[in-house]
Structure 1
Amino acid sequence: MECKTTLYDTHVKYGGKMVPFAGFLLPVQYGTGVIAEHMAVRTACGLFDVSHMGEILCEGEAALDNLNHLLTNDFTSMVDGQARYSPMCNEEGGVVDDLIVYKIRDNHYFIVVNASNKDKDFAWMMAHKLPGAELKDISAGVGQLALQGPKAEEILLKLTDKENLPVKYYTCLIDRAVAGIRCIVSKTGYTGEDGYELYMDAGKAPELFEALMEAGKEEGLIPCGLGARDTLRLEAAMPLYGHEMDDTITPLETGLSFAVKMKKEDFIGKAAIEAKGEPTRVRVGLKVTGRGIIREHETVYANGEEIGITTSGTHVPYLKCPVAMALVKKEYAVPGTKAEADVRGRRIEAEVVPLPFYKRTK
């Protein structure tokens, strides 16, 4: 049986089409539709309920060592209020999940994991944690809203003071009042757009949702669902667990080397990644040049040779074209390479293009 976030009734009120996702009932879209929601985020602002995400605290005198042991990135240089992205690998170098770590203060970290992996992640962390580190799953008590789009700051400034908004990407401010509700205000997102993610007591999420919707009326703010969240992240070429990475795909293969610190003394999966050497397959972008839409799990060919498989694909509304991401043999990853994807027995022509497909202008 699926759970409900504290915003379930709010979604129904706004006309959300509710579907099961990651153990929750969530809106896939509202009456406006996925395309309108996608375009609102690119041109104005959209509001997402992401309270289904998991939140874990890592505390204790060995908290930092524990993070550096569990995760591929290096957290040694982090300052209070900084956020850092990282994959978490298994012993074979595959990805258990990807996540974001916030440093609240020394020996106190706030970790945000993917909803579908929360229980698996927490069990993995508990099974591999170092002595002197304590882990606590606080997901049930945390609400999360994502306000995304070029007008996000303008809307928030109606509900809070400017000093309560972080300036730099991947930083946060702790215990700030937004519409009178205490929040962690984070300058992060999963849309490729400017915006914020707000963490608050789960019981306060509906009140804050309504305050944001009221504040954003003049700016064109609309509620957005899972459908737009996926098309936005794909258009921005952001990898998704279970698609561009999983237990068999290393973070180097999917283009996450920036978050894998091989010079670090050790982390789970480091030896396996070293043993594999340079990746023989890599993540690429495909722009459809023929007729049709390429989806996930479709075989990719070049010069008659099977070269890989697609991981995500759809028609992206802002760029107005079908695109896909794929894992292909490294020698075919050169932009301009002609390729084909087998879609139910029909070959659709495509071309390898640089990632991301879309990048916002600052």
Structure 2
Amino acid sequence: MSLNTTRLVVTADNEGGWDYGTLRGPYSAFHIANGAKYCVYNNRLMPVSQKVSREEGYWTLKQKAGLFDTGERPIQISGPDAEKLCNKVFTRNVSNLKPWRAGYALLTYPNGNILCDGVLLRLAPDTFWYVQADGPVYSWLIAHAQGLDVEVSDPNSWVSQVQGPASLDVLNNLIEGGLPADFKYFSVRRARVRGQDIIVSRTGWTNEAGFEFYTLPNEPNYDGAALWNAVLEAGKPFGLDVAGLDSMEIRRIEGGILNNGSDMDDTMTPFEAGLGAFVDLSKDDFIGKAALASAKKESRLIGLISDGGEPVREGPVTIDGKRIGFVTAAAFSPFLNAGIAIVRLDQPHADGTKVEVLSRDHKTHSAVLAQLPLYDKEKKIPRGLVVDIPERTSGADKKPAKSRKPEAAHS
């Protein structure tokens, strides 16, 4: 078969011409100077690569802290019927989400298939931010808000992440007054950095400890460039470095974090994507509930590990030459010293099933299916219950991660 081992990226050129339909973030000047290449995500330019290499950025993320400028788009839902709208469109019970907490949330079509995913922040009893993945969420919310006393608006916020074992040390050094009290996993707080207001949440896209920070450009004290520089300065004592999505991609595959539109899409239900835990069929009616109640509950997504190097994205996965699925995301894991992937199966197969996978060397290699996440199965690392800092070795010399108990303030 014909292999597609190339990709398309966006770069900055000092020339005139077509330049419409995409948004540059507040840190664009830094990224251009840093040699970034971009993808388009939510019509926003998101750096997929930076000056630091993919592997160097990965090790910074695993051992210290990485700074990532990401393309999620916050949408504000506010007013007396904000909770009612949220319960109408999201598959989870939003009434259980307390102010200044966040939770993973899915939207589905009436047929039960996935529209989009993201993180829902509750900033007040009547105010939510939905920090969405790439998808048509804004128009969907506007359409379903008709007849309700609610306003759907764009706060024009830009989202970035600091991830890695030193990330909460960076946060403690960054915000006025230090790390917020009781800042647990999926907590949300309003904070100040050198006089300007931001929102922070203890969330991320890596399954490492970390936080995300959200600009508030409508506040009079907003200064995007100053905020970015403040994060860099706060992280310097802890080895913080700016990395691109390519480095984050390796870790999110290891951690079993899905990308909407590729790992899962509008041909799949949340159950088929292994996300049934986020569907509450006991709550009042929501869009897609009737279809989901009768849908098959087995997952068709699973991980893969191969000693044959990085698999080809969209390449076939076979058993004795017969296709059983395809690769939706792939990388080489320096920590596992193996090729890794997320696989969409035609039919469910068990953990440990031996398969073959097409790799970037244009050859088919042996592999094994593995449940996601590929390690840290109980997700103790992002919850701050353990801090694993692996030594940078490879092959037969690879040593196990060193573990230490997190500081009480970071748990």
For the criterion TM > 0.5, the same-fold answer is yes
In the alignment, what sits opposite 2:119?
100
Q: Give 1:37-186 correspondences, 5 Å limit.
A: 37-50=57-70, 52-114=71-133, 116-117=134-135, 120-129=136-145, 131-140=147-156, 142-160=157-175, 161-162=177-178, 164=180, 167-174=183-190, 176-186=191-201
Q: For 2:182 and 2:73, how far apart are their aligned partners in 1?
A: 22
Q: Quick check: 1:316 aligned with 2:336?
A: no
Does the CA contact (< 8 Å) of 1:43 and 1:150 recur in 2? yes
Q: Point out the structure with the larger strand share.
A: 1
Return closer, same or farther for 1:226/1:335 CA change in 2, 3 Å cut-off: same
User: Residue by residue, what CA displacement relative to the aligned partner does 1:162-186 show, whole Å, maximum 9, x if unpaired?
Assistant: 3536521111112x21233211121
Shift of 1:272: 1.5
Q: Distance in 1 between matches of 2:108 and 2:262?
A: 16
- AA of the residue aligned to 2:340: V
* Residue pair 2:159, 2:215 contacting (<8 A) in 1 also: yes
SS of equivalent to 2:183? coil
Cα-to-partner distance string for 1:36-83 (whole Å, 9 max, x where unaligned): 111111110111122x32111111222112111101111111211010
Residues 265-344 of structure 1 correspond to what in structure 2 (within 5 A)? 265-279=284-298, 281-289=299-307, 291-332=308-349, 334-342=350-358
TM-score using structure 1 length? 0.90
Contact kept, 8 Å, 2:193 with 2:230, in 1: the verdict is: no
Which residue of the other structure, out of 374, 381, 400, is the alignment partner of 1:357?
374
Q: Are the structure 2 counterparts of residues 87 and 316 from structure 1 closer, same or farther at C-alpha, using a change threshold of 3 Å?
A: same
CA distance in 1, matches of 2:151, 2:115: 17
Identical counterparts, % of pairs: 26
TM-aligned CA deviation for residue 343 of structure 1: 5.4
Letter in 1 for 2:83: L
Which residue type is aligned with residue 236 of structure 1? G
Give the conservation status (yes or no) of the 8 Å contact 2:254–2:372.
no
What amino acid is aligned across from residue 42 of structure 1 in structure 2?
K
State the 1:283 CA deviation: 1.1
Deviation at 1:304, TM superposition (A): 4.3
Q: Are 1:44 and 1:151, in contact at CA under 8 Å, matched by a contact in 2?
A: yes
Q: Contact 1:319–1:358 (CA<8 Å) still a contact in 2?
A: no
Find the counterpart in structure 1 of residue 53 from structure 2: 33
Any idea what SS the aligned residue of 1:348 has? strand
Q: Give the distance between the partners of 1:271 and 1:179, measured in 2 at CA.
A: 50
CA contact (8 A) 1:17 1:29 kept: yes
The answer (yes or no) to whether the contact 1:16–1:31 under 8 Å persists in 2 is: yes
Task: List gaps (5 residues or longer) in structure 1.
Answer: none
- State the distance in 2 between where 1:157 and 1:321 align: 35
Q: For the aligned residues, what is the CA RMSD?
A: 2.1
AA in 1 matched with 2:263: E
Q: 1:318 aligns to what SS in structure 2? A: coil
Q: How many residues align?
A: 352
- Matched to 1:211, the amino acid is A
Q: Secondary structure, in 3 states, of the residue corresponding to 1:9?
A: helix
Q: CA deviation at 1:130?
A: 5.3
